[in-house]
């Protein structure tokens, strides 16, 4: 059995007042205009009818009661959904990781990026949102249209048990690691930092994604120690990368 101490775990200590090393100014250095390359050749995208069918399938797996969504990354700082309540919650047995390779969105075919998902082991502190009562299938369909482009992505959508302290919640969660997703990667933080400092797609950069995620988690009093270390590493990468460019002699 692998010791839990080997897995990333959010700090349980009171957050210090130390500022983030990764700043908005550093993030701005990573931005560049990139065209949308569109879906990869051979990649199947959902039709509207298929989105509705996928939402109906998830509804059949849902227990009676409220509709909860567990957010641990961009769904916290860019929700794009309506909620009537939110609680800090913990999912046990999973941890955040930049483990999804991107050649679109926040990466390109020439310089792939990374997006966060959940991988096995440890724990993940995030936010559970309760969505409005009524038309749960429609609300799930809206989330699917935001998070999933086609049938391949549905392998990483599942219901997880989230512990809100006073209650165990069944919560819909996106990008939960599974062997059926063939674009998962496992990289050390130094390599992740190297990628995030350089990757950019048509909707933004990897550094921007990390910056917003860590900033919002801090607002909720959540410090994921691996993400905190990662933002420090990405800040260092950006400084070294941009300062070396400006230091080059003109010819």
CATH classification of the domain holding 124: 3.10.490.10
> How distant is the alpha carbon of residue 51 from its chain centre?
21
Give yes or no for residue 9 having a pLDDT over 50: no
Q: Distance between CA atoms of 37 and 34, rounded to whole angstroms?
A: 9
Q: 48, 44, 59: which is closest to 153 by C-alpha?
A: 44
Q: Is residue 34 part of a domain?
A: no
Q: Is residue 75 part of a domain?
A: yes
Q: Is residue 93 part of a domain?
A: yes
Q: Distance between CA atoms of 135 and 56, rounded to whole angstroms?
A: 11
Q: Which of 37-41, 111-115, 119-123, 193-197 has the lowest mean pLDDT?
A: 37-41
Only one residue has tokens 């700090």, namely 11
Q: What does each C-alpha distance from 98 to 10, 66, 209, 226 come to in angstroms?
A: 15, 30, 11, 10
Per the structure, the complete domain to which residue 197 belongs is given by 46-243
Which residues, at least 6 apart from 232, have a Cβ–Cβ distance to it below 8 Å? Answer: 21, 22
**CB-CB contact of 116 with 94 (8 Å):** no
Q: Is residue 97 part of a domain?
A: yes
Q: Distance between CA atoms of 192 and 98, rounded to whole angstroms?
A: 7
Is 147 noted as a catalytic residue in this protein? yes
Which residues, at least 6 apart from 67, have a Cβ–Cβ distance to it below 8 Å? Answer: 130, 131, 133, 136, 139, 140, 172
More confident residue, 104 or 17: 104
Q: What length is written for the chain?
A: 251
Which structure tokens are listed for 86? 């939110």
Contacts 24+ apart (CB under 8 A), 231-234: 231/20, 231/21, 231/22, 232/21, 232/22, 233/189, 233/190, 233/192, 233/193, 234/22, 234/193, 234/196, 234/197, 234/207, 234/210
Domain count within the chain = 1
More confident residue, 41 or 115: 115
Q: Is residue 22 part of a domain?
A: no
The pLDDT, as a whole number, for residue 250 is 52
From the candidates 45, 50, 147, 218, give the one annotated as an active-site residue. 147
Q: Is residue 63 part of a domain?
A: yes
Mean pLDDT of the residues in the chain: 89
Give strand pairing partners of 124: 91
Q: Report strand pairing: 168-174 vs 68-71.
A: parallel
| Confidence class for position 44, pLDDT limits 50, 70, 90 | confident
The pLDDT, as a whole number, for residue 249 is 55
Q: What would the pLDDT profile of 110-147 be if each residue is shown by its tens digit? A: 999 999 999 999 999 999 999 999 899 999 999 999 99
φ, ψ for residue 163, nearest 5 deg: -95, 110
Q: Is residue 18 part of a domain?
A: no
Q: What would the pLDDT profile of 154-181 be if each residue is shown by its tens digit? A: 989 999 999 999 899 999 999 998 655 5
Give yes or no for residue 6 having a pLDDT over 90: no
Q: Is residue 7 part of a domain?
A: no
Kindly state the average pLDDT of the residues 2-22: 56
**CB-CB contact of 225 with 18 (8 Å):** no
pTM confidence score: 0.88
């Amino acid at each position: 059995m692998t010791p839990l101490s080997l897995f990333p775990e959010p700090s349980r200590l009171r957050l210090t007042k130390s500022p983030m090393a990764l700043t908005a100014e550093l993030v701005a250095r990573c931005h560049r205009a990139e065209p949308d390359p569109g879906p990869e050749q051979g990649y199947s995208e959902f039709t509207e009818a298929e989105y509705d069918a996928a939402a109906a399938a998830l509804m059949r797996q849902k227990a009676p009661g409220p509709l909860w969504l567990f957010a641990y990354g961009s769904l916290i700082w860019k929700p794009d959904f309506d909620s009537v309540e939110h609680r800090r919650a913990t999912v046990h047995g999973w941890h955040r990781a930049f483990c999804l390779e991107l050649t679109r969105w926040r990466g390109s075919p020439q310089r792939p990026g990374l997006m966060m998902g959940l991988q096995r082991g440890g724990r993940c502190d995030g936010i559970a949102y309760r969505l409005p009562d009524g038309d749960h299938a429609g609300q799930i369909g809206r989330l699917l249209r935001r998070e999933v482009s086609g049938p391949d992505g549905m392998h990483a959508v599942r219901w997880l048990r989230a512990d809100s302290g006073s209650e165990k919640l069944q919560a819909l969660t996106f990008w939960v690691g599974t062997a059926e997703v063939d674009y998962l990667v496992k990289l050390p933080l130094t390599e992740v930092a190297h990628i995030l400092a350089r990757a950019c797609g048509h909707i933004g950069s990897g550094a921007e994604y990390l910056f917003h995620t860590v900033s919002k988690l801090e607002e909720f009093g959540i410090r994921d120690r691996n993400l905190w270390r990662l933002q420090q590493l990405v800040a260092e990468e950006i400084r070294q990368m941009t300062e070396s460019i400006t230091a080059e002699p003109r010819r």
